[in-house]
Amino acid sequence: MTELRIPASEAGLIERARRGDREAFYELLRPCERMVYATALSVLKNPADAEEVSQEAVLKAFTGLKSFRAEARFSTWLVQITYNEARMRLRKARPHLYESLDGHSEDGDGNISPRDFADWQPIPSELLEKEEIRQAVHDAINSLSPAYREVLVLRDLQHLSIKETMTILGISETSVKTRLHRARLQLRDALAPGLDGCWVRGEPYRKVRAW
């Protein structure tokens, strides 16, 4: 295993936070806030629940900092705690939904045939300035099964490495790659109706295709 290099500043802050220095802990936390919230939101899909779970996860991290062994980066460890908290919340609130989170049978070798949109026109990233476009992308992400969504959010939204994703979710490298692959292709399919040109004109999307 390659040695993990923790920046000296991070190590110093962790040491201070372990001794109960809340300012140091907050400083450690600042760069990870977005990550924590995105993680909670990707599981719970509800901003209010996501914020509450983020706060709980952060407090849990603060009190549990003594057990942090620096085998992972602080951010990886924190995201892992957030996942556990969010999943626990989901399990309590909606047990019927939680079952699908454990679905590991989706990693089989079945091939995916991407739909034939040979005339794919890119959705320009500038359109993300528009609320309805952001919403359409969020809806597409939320339409993925939890196992795929989790990997996509960690890898593509939060830009975490394959290794960090493996650590946080406790899955193999092959599972990370397979799930990410399927998530991306499904997302492409889900957003493809935008091909009708409405994205490009920047108007609210109007459904004109059968799918």
Residues at the interface with another protein (CB under 8 A): 22, 25-26, 29-30, 33-34, 37-38, 47, 51, 54-55, 58-59, 62, 111-114, 116-120, 122-123, 125, 128-129, 134, 137-138, 140-141, 152, 156-157, 159, 162, 177, 180-181, 184-185, 187-188, 191-192
Q: Nearest distance from residue 152's CB to another protein, in Å?
A: 7
> Quick check: helix, strand or coil at residue 115?
coil
Strands (E), the chain: none
**Is 107:169 a contact under the CB 8 Å cutoff?**
no
Q: Closer to another protein by CB, 53 or 168: give it.
A: 53
Q: Nearest distance from residue 150's CB to another protein, in Å?
A: 13
Q: Nearest distance from residue 95's CB to another protein, in Å?
A: 27
Q: Nearest distance from residue 38's CB to another protein, in Å?
A: 6
Q: Closer to another protein by CB, 43 or 187: give it.
A: 187
- Which 8-state DSSP code applies to residue 17? H
> Quick check: helix, strand or coil at residue 140?
helix
- Which 8-state DSSP code applies to residue 192? G
Q: In the block, which residue shows the tokens 């942090």?
A: 68
Q: Closer to another protein by CB, 25 or 83: give it.
A: 25
Q: Nearest distance from residue 141's CB to another protein, in Å?
A: 7
Provide the 10 A C-beta neighbour count for residue 151: 28
The burial of 185, by beta-carbon neighbours within 10 Å (0-12 exposed, 13-18 middle, 19 or more buried), is given as middle
Q: Nearest distance from residue 116's CB to another protein, in Å?
A: 6
Q: Closer to another protein by CB, 99 or 114: give it.
A: 114
The burial of 157, by beta-carbon neighbours within 10 Å (0-12 exposed, 13-18 middle, 19 or more buried), is given as middle
Question: Distances from the Cα of 179 to the Cαs of 66, 150, 186, in angstroms?
Answer: 33, 9, 10
Q: Closer to another protein by CB, 87 or 155: give it.
A: 155
Q: Closer to another protein by CB, 98 or 156: give it.
A: 156
